[in-house]
Amino acid sequence: MSRSYLAGIAALVGVTAIWGSTFPLTKDLLLRLPVADLFAVRFALAAATLLALRPRALRGLPRRTWLTGVALGLVYGAALLVQTFALIELPSSVSGFVTGSYLVMTPLLALLWTRVAPSRRTWSAVALATAGMAAFTLLSGPGGAGAIAAGPVLLTLFSALLYALHIVALGRWSIPAEAYPLSVIQILTLTAITGLSATPGGIALPTSPGDWAGVLYLATIAGALTFLAQTWAQAHVPPTAAAVLISAEPLWATAFAATLYAEPVTWPVLIGGACVITAMILVAWPGRETPGRPPEEPASTGAGTRTRS
């Protein structure tokens, strides 16, 4: 098992932990800011941060890198907007579980794309993480949600498919040398998508120092830093393993909510957390199926003749 693989695992765990910390903060900010407006401001500041740190990051890039970054940004942005639109008509617990179906879709897409089947251990991790997400969402959510319309569920399934496609494509196309510019291009694309969505009603900005601090955290730590870390990490970690690690997001969200907001930790949360942690361990120590390389990773990755370094 290579050091770069373990470093990628550690980076994705850190990214997911940061994403988990954003749940209570985002929920609070959305009481005062529209969804599209918050996303537009967040991604614009994230792009500005990365460009301020490396002003020459986008100079001299090959056309392929620009096309890759824009394509990844369009897929992620479409997934984000479709999921948010469908959430209006769905209970949050149902939306969370249906969105989490990307965990099952990711290895299937990876199989179709790479023609390399995930190992049995990886499939076991997928099953455990899926069970954990079910415990987090459906079992922990409020009962008696009533009839659920098929349309929003189908939209959410489509957003899950887009998230899975983003994970697989990022794993195939990302290389360490291009992690920084690829992150910037993705975020610029997201800024354009969310900005266009927010423009008709005018983009609302935070009005208090506390809200600005929250938006800056979402833009820099949970935006610029996590995009850069995920893009770099997925140059070393196969898509299915990355999806399993990312599925720990509800676990981190619950931990932060319990610590910072004294929310109760119920038995479904404990069971779900145990399943997800076990799945992460299975991914981090994949066994002896492919010595020196994580399971499911093809010998040649990337577009054309590109390979991972």
Residue 65: is its pLDDT beyond 60? yes
Summarised one tens digit per residue, pLDDT across range 107-139 is 888 888 877 777 777 788 788 877 877 776 666
pLDDT at 141: 52
Q: Across residues 49-56, what is the average pLDDT?
A: 93
Residue 302: is its pLDDT beyond 50? no
pLDDT at 213: 95
Summarised one tens digit per residue, pLDDT across range 267-290 is 776 777 788 778 777 766 655 444
Residue 293: is its pLDDT beyond 50? no
CB 164 within 8 A of CB 109: yes
Summarised one tens digit per residue, pLDDT across range 212-251 is 999 999 999 999 999 899 889 988 888 878 888 887 776 7
DSSP string, 77-135: HHHHHHHHHHHTTS-HHHHHHHHTTHHHHHHHHHHHHH--PPPHHHHHHHHHHHHHHHI
Q: Tokens standing for 189? A: 């694309």
Please state, for a pLDDT cut of 90, what percent of the chain lies above it. Answer: 29
Contacts of 186 (CB under 8 A, 6+ apart): 69, 72, 73, 76, 227, 231
Average pLDDT score over the chain = 79
Taken as a whole, the chain contains a residue count of 309
pLDDT at 131: 80
Please state, for a pLDDT cut of 70, what percent of the chain lies above it. Answer: 80
Highest mean pLDDT among 252-256, 262-266, 281-285: 252-256
Summarised one tens digit per residue, pLDDT across range 163-179 is 999 999 988 888 888 88
pLDDT at 241: 84
Residue type, 27: K
Summarised one tens digit per residue, pLDDT across range 148-161 is 667 887 888 899 89
Distance between CA atoms of residues 267 and 5, nearest Å: 33
User: Using 50, 70 and 90 to split pLDDT, how confident is the model at 27?
Assistant: confident
Q: Which carries the bigger pLDDT value, residue 62 or residue 256?
A: 62
Q: How far apart are the first and last CA of the chain?
A: 15
